[in-house]
Chains A and B, each alone.
Chain A
Amino acid sequence: MKVVILGCARVGAWLAAELHSQGHHVRILDEDEENFRRLPVELRTIGEDGGEGIAVLGDGTQEEDLIRAGIEGADVFVATLPQDTPNLMAAQIAQHVFHVPRVVCRLNDGERQGIYQGLGLHVINATQLVGEALMSSLREP
């Protein structure tokens, strides 16, 4: 499976390393090179020969940067940035411009989740997930 991940914060970096270790073809896009330090060392840079690296420096709301990350021909696009608005813009570009078959978008705001699900976007609500996990742990003896 060819996967493009936007955002190399903790969630994105974890997901990228996990998918890579499962043998998937992964590229992770972030506009701040510093964030790639969250990746395992061998995955941080893409060498001249293609290398093992999966990191691509660029802005996920820019089509040309998404193309450099291989969005054309990707099976999956996942927007994992901590901020909702660039995730939403990037995910909609992936869906409506590049027609990526599976697009997933992380959001923090539940109300926006409703709007964008209504527009056909697959949304993961991070706030709700963590909140529910916390709630269920409170119920345990």
Chain B
Amino acid sequence: MYAVIVGCGRMGFNLARALLEQGHEVTVTERDLERSKVANEQLGQVVVVGDGCEPQVLREAGAQRADVLVALTGKDEDNLVACQVAKHLFRVSRTIALVNNPKNEKLFHLLGVDVQLSHTSMVLQHVEEELPGAGVVHMEGLRGSNWELVSIKIPSDAMAVGKPLREMRLPQGSVVSLVIGADGLAHFPSENILLHTGDQLLVVTSPESEETVRETLTGVN
């Protein structure tokens, strides 16, 4: 795989190193001369010095043959434009952007960035998992579709406890894809599997159906 990374800060540098160690081909664009020098010394000649939002610099970095572009600068406007230039000028099929301000996640999605990474959301997700009765935890949006993967824990007072999965009337299209029991083992969910307190269900659903799914699996009565 060939990856172009925009921004050689700590994250860009470490990502480049990890991808190189896995045997992938990587070019990083970085405006700062000093950072570029350090990365070139430690990772081999991987840096193109320049502004990775500019078509000329991305061309020099080989964006036209890249499989993925990852924009990891500290500025959301730069990450957005780097991804849009990659997508629309160089036809890079997968663009990934760091979203520094979590409020921009939706905007980036609307404007065609394939994957939005937000530190705040990632930390929030882990915090939410720890909260009792938090209901639905968002795991991941599924590529190129309206579907999302959510995690739901069955609370002890739920109607679902002790019932087989087939009795759960989930909205059309919503599917329980995995049941992780309180014993920590993952079970491929047959329709006869019984639901227990503390079971974690990984469910594929849509934002519109999410509330119904939550109500069906965790509702008290």
A79 to B107, CA, bound (A): 18
Asked whether any CB of chain B lies closer than 8 Å to the CB of A92, the reply is yes
A63 to B110, CA, bound (A): 14
CB distance from A100 to the nearest CB of B (A): 15
Most buried by A among B54, B77, B84, B103: B77
- A88 with B103, Cβ < 8 A, contacts A109-B54, A109-B55, A111-B55 known: no
Asked whether any CB of chain A lies closer than 8 Å to the CB of B85, the reply is yes
Of the candidates B78, B103, B111, the one whose C-beta lies within 8 Å of that of A85 is: B78
Asked whether any CB of chain B lies closer than 8 Å to the CB of A141, the reply is no
Asked whether any CB of chain B lies closer than 8 Å to the CB of A130, the reply is no
Q: Which residues of A contact B56 (CB under 8 A)?
A: 111
Asked whether any CB of chain B lies closer than 8 Å to the CB of A84, the reply is yes
Most buried by A among B81, B85, B88, B110: B81
Asked whether any CB of chain B lies closer than 8 Å to the CB of A125, the reply is no
| CB atoms of B84 and A115 under 8 A apart | yes
Chain A residue with Cβ nearest B89: A115
A90 to B75, CA, bound (A): 13
| CB atoms of B111 and A92 under 8 A apart | yes
| CB atoms of B77 and A97 under 8 A apart | no
Q: Which of A39-91 contact B (CB under 8 A)?
A: 61-63, 84-86, 88-90
Q: Which residues of B contact A85 (CB under 8 A)?
A: 53, 75, 77-78, 80-81
| CB atoms of B80 and A88 under 8 A apart | yes
Q: Which residues of B contact A62 (CB under 8 A)?
A: 101, 103
Asked whether any CB of chain A lies closer than 8 Å to the CB of B105, the reply is no
| CB atoms of A61 and B77 under 8 A apart | yes
Chain B residue with Cβ nearest A89: B77
Chain A residue with Cβ nearest B84: A115
Give a binary string over A22-34; 1 marks a CB under 8 Å from any B CB, 0 the rest: 0000000000000
CB distance from B75 to the nearest CB of A (A): 7
Asked whether any CB of chain A lies closer than 8 Å to the CB of B76, the reply is yes
Q: Which residues of B contact A88 (CB under 8 A)?
A: 77, 80-81, 84
A116 to B111, CA, bound (A): 11
A88 to B111, CA, bound (A): 11
Asked whether any CB of chain B lies closer than 8 Å to the CB of A102, the reply is no
Q: Which of A117-132 contact B (CB under 8 A)?
A: 118-119
Of the candidates B53, B55, B89, B111, the one whose C-beta lies within 8 Å of that of A96 is: B111
Offer 10 A-B interface pairs, CB within 8 angstroms, sorted by A.
A85-B53, A85-B77, A85-B80, A88-B81, A88-B84, A90-B77, A112-B81, A112-B85, A115-B84, A115-B89
| Chain A contacts to B: CB under 8 angstroms | 61-63, 84-86, 88-90, 92-93, 96-97, 109, 111-112, 114-116, 118-119
